[in-house]
């Protein structure tokens, strides 16, 4: 991100757009509005990866398979006439797909041939969690030494 901040003038807009989007995301989540939640999630992911692509030198986390998954989710949403799923990518090519439990089989069907061919090696289904939990120090997985080096 340091390289993106230093070389991509569009990054200056990111904090404001992300902040505005976050409020809308929270509202969509609270309202259980998967259409809006999916749209905002994909928009944010695409914006982040666009900024990285515009970095000098370019940072490219997504690969061909990433774009194929994006296309499949967008095609699924078009065929449904509304968004029933959305994608996001972390700093890597691996998609996280958000949807409702009732749409899970449709999402898996949209990706089935990619899973059958081995292009998608593994899928993990995760329900909504219970939210943040404060751990005792003995239960933490945080490496304080590593964290302090990154926060300098």
Tell me how far apart the alpha carbons of residues 149 and 49 are, in angstroms, rounded to a whole number: 26
Domain boundaries, the chain: 2-150
pLDDT computed for residue 133 by the predictor: 76
- Per residue in 84-110, is it b (16+ CB within 10 Å) or e — as a string? bbbbbbeeeebbebbbeeebeeebeeb
- Region 24-44: mean pLDDT is 95
pLDDT digits (tens, 9 = 90+) for 6-28: 999 999 999 999 999 999 999 99
The mean predicted confidence, pLDDT, of the chain is 89
pLDDT computed for residue 91 by the predictor: 76
pLDDT computed for residue 142 by the predictor: 65
CB 90 within 8 A of CB 71: no
Residue 88 has pLDDT above 60, yes or no: yes
Question: What fold is seen in the domain 2-150?
Answer: Alpha-Beta Plaits (3.30.70)
Tell me how far apart the alpha carbons of residues 69 and 86 are, in angstroms, rounded to a whole number: 10
């Amino acid at each position: 991100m340091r390289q993106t901040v230093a070389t991509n003038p569009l990054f200056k807009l990111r904090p404001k757009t992300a902040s505005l989007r976050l409020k809308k995301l929270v509202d969509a989540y609270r309202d259980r509005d998967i259409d809006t939640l999916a749209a905002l999630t994909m928009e944010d992911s695409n914006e982040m990866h666009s900024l990285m692509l515009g970095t000098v030198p370019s940072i490219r986390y997504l690969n061909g398979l990433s774009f194929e998954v994006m296309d499949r989710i967008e095609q699924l949403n078009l065929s449904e006439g509304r968004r029933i799923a959305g994608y996001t990518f972390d700093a890597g090519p691996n998609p996280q797909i958000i949807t409702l439990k009732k749409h899970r089989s449709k999402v898996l069907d949209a990706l089935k041939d990619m899973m059958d061919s081995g292009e998608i090696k593994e899928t993990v289904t995760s329900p909504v969690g219970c939210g943040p939990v404060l751990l005792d120090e003995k239960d933490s997985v945080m490496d304080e030494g590593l964290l302090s080096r990154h926060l300098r």
